[in-house]
Amino acid sequence: MSDTIAAVATAMSASGIGIVRISGEECMDVIHRIYRSKGGRKDIRTVDSHTIHYGYIYDGNEIVDEVLVMIMKAPRTFTGEDTVEIDCHGGVYAMRRVLETVVKNGARIAEPGEFTKRAFLNGRLDLSQAEAVIDVIQAQNSYALKSSISQLKGSVKRTIEGLRSRIIYHIAYIESALDDPEHISVDGYGEELEEDVKKQLQKIRHLLQTASNGKMIREGIKTVILGKPNAGKSSLLNLLVGENKAIVTDVAGTTRDILEEYITLSGISLRIIDTAGIRDTEDIVEKIGVGRAKDVAKDADLILYVVDSSTSLDQNDVEIMKLLKDKKAIILLNKADLEPVVNVETIVHNFVDNVDNLEGKNVENDNNPQFIHPIVSISAKEETGIEALEEQIKEMFFHGELSFNDEVYITNARHKAALEETEKSLCQVLESITMGMPEDFYSIDLMNAYKELGGIIGEEVGEDLVNEIFSKFCTGK
C-alpha cells in the first residue's frame, strides 16, 4: 500500500489516446521528474488538484511523447491517494515507453485490480461496489450495464447495511441485557425479535428471488433452439446473429453438433445454442448430435421450438414437445411465407393429446387462455416476426421491463451464497425462539447472520478472499 503503482489503463492496441495511470504517495514526485510544460520545465506538484496540463514526457533529455497530464490530489480520487493520469498517443509502443519512463522514475507496475483494491482498502468503495466495477467493464447488454451501475452507486451496499443495522441492534440489546439484567429486561423480547427477524427474512428472500434474473442479466439467457431437421433452426440463428454462422442447406441433418453464439435482443443478452435436428436416425454421428441437443435442453433457461408450419407434425415433434414440459419455451411457427399446414390449434391439440402440459399451469396464450407456451409466427427467410419474439422474451423473463431505481438485483454468486447462509442463521433464530431457548442462543445465530452480510460489503472478509476477487480484474483498473 505504500508503493506508488502505475499501469496502462486503456487497451494495448492502436488507438487515438492511451492512458497511463499512477497512484500512490510518490506519484507527484514521479510526474515532476518526467513532465515538462510546453513553455519549459514547470513544478507540476504545485498546481491545483483536478486540473489538466499540456506538455511532454521526458526520459532524461529525450522527449518520449506529447501528452496531457491530469493531476488529482488525495483524498478526492478513485483510490483515495494522489493520482496522475497521462493521456498520451495511443500507439502500443508510445504507451509502453511512457510506462517504462514512469517506472524508471519511482513507480512499480500495478498488479491486476490494484487500483480498485486500494479504493476498497482506503474506504472509497465497499466490496460490492468494487466487484461492480468489473461488472461494468464486462457488461454485454444494457440491462447488465444498468444493474452494474446501480450496484456501483451503492444499491447493494445500502440494502445490506439496512439489514445489518437491525441485526446488530438486537445483538447489542441481548448482550446489554445479559450484562445488566437488573436494568434491561428481556421479558417479552422474544416476540419482538421474532417479528423483526421475520421482516428481515422477507427482505432477504426477496433478494434471493432476484438472483435468477440477476444471473441472466449478467451472463445472458441460455437459449436452446430445438426442432426437427430442416425446420429452420440454423436459419433462425443466422438471422438473430446477423451473419451466416450456421450452414443452411435443404439436406436434412446438416447440423450435427451444437453451435453457440451471444446476441443482444432489445437490451437482453441471449446465450443462444443451435442444435442438431431431433429425429430417429441410424447415422451414428447425427445420433450423437441429437443426444447432445436433448442434454443441453435440460439446462436451458429458454427453449425456442422451431416448427416447420408447412409440414405436418409427426412423432419427432411429440418427442420435442416432451422436452418443453416444465420449461420456459416459445413455439415458433416458421415458414409463415408458405402455405400453412400447422397452426396454433394444431400445436395446442398435440400438446393436450401427447404431453398433457396444461394441468396446473397459469401462463396464457392469446389463442388459447389455458395453453402455457406462447406461440409466435415467423419467417426466417423473409425476416418477419422477430420483433414479436423479442417482446415475448422480455415479457417472459422480466415482465416487460427492468427497473433499477429501487429494485436491487443479486448478480454475484458470492453475494447469493452469503444471503443463503444469512437466511439459514435467521431461521435458526426463529427456531430457538419457538423452542424457548435462552437469549444468548439468539445472539450466536444473529452474529452469524451479521458476519455473512458483512462479507458481501467487505467488512467480514479475509485477505485471501480480497486478493482472489481483485486478481480477476484487468491490469490498470
pLDDT at 244: 53
SS3 (DSSP) at 18: strand
- The better pLDDT of the pair 240, 224 is held by 224
The model's pLDDT over 66-86, given as tens digits with 9 standing for 90+, comes to 999 999 999 999 999 999 999
Q: Is the pLDDT of residue 242 over 90?
A: no
Is the pLDDT reported for residue 241 higher than 80?
no
**Could you tell me if 3 and 79 are in contact, meaning their C-beta atoms sit under 8 angstroms apart?**
no
Q: With left for phi above 0 and alpha for psi between -120 and 50, is residue 436 left, alpha or beta?
A: left
Name the residue ranges covered by the structural domains of the chain.
Answer: 5-110, 129-210+409-471, 218-398
CATH architecture of 5-110: 2-Layer Sandwich (3.30)
Cell of 351: 400438446
pLDDT above 50 (res 359): no
Does an H or E element contain 224, and which?
strand 221-227
Which one-letter amino acid corresponds to residue 335?
Answer: K
> Which of 43-47, 214-218, 380-384, 399-403 is modeled with the greatest confidence?
43-47
Q: What span, in angstroms and rounded, lies between the C-alpha atoms of 177 and 299?
A: 51
**Superfamily of domain covering 129-210+409-471:** tRNA modification GTPase MnmE domain 2 (1.20.120.430)
**What φ, ψ does residue 68 adopt, rounded to 5°?**
-115, 135
Label the pairing between strands 259-265 and 329-334.
unpaired
Q: Looking at the domain covering 218-398, what would its CATH class be?
A: alpha beta
- Cα–Cα distance between 231 and 251 in angstroms, integer? 11
What mean pLDDT is predicted for residues 280-296?
Answer: 76
172: phi then psi, degrees, rounded to nearest 5: -65, -40
What is the pLDDT averaged over residues 394-413? 68
In 10 A of CB 275, how many CB atoms?
A: 26
pLDDT > 80? residue 279:
no
Looking at per-residue confidence, does 466 or 25 come out higher? 25
Set of cell numbers at residue 291: 443426444
Distance between CA atoms of residues 292 and 275, nearest Å: 8
Q: Which letter does DSSP use for residue 410 in this model?
A: -
Average pLDDT over residues 318-330: 84
The reported pTM is 0.71
* Nearest CA-CA partner of 309 in 388, 224, 232: 232
Mean pLDDT taken over the chain: 83
Among 220, 216, 225, residue whose Cα is nearest residue 292: 225
- Span 344-367, mean pLDDT? 61
Does residue 363 surpass a pLDDT of 60? no
pLDDT at 471: 82
Parallel/antiparallel/unpaired status of strands 302-308 and 329-334:
parallel
Interatomic CA distance for residues 330 and 390, integer angstroms: 11
Q: Tens of pLDDT along 114-138?
A: 999 999 999 999 999 988 888 888 7
Q: How far is CA 384 from CA 105, 308, 393, in A?
A: 62, 15, 16
Q: Residue 455: pLDDT band by 50, 70, 90 thresholds? A: very high
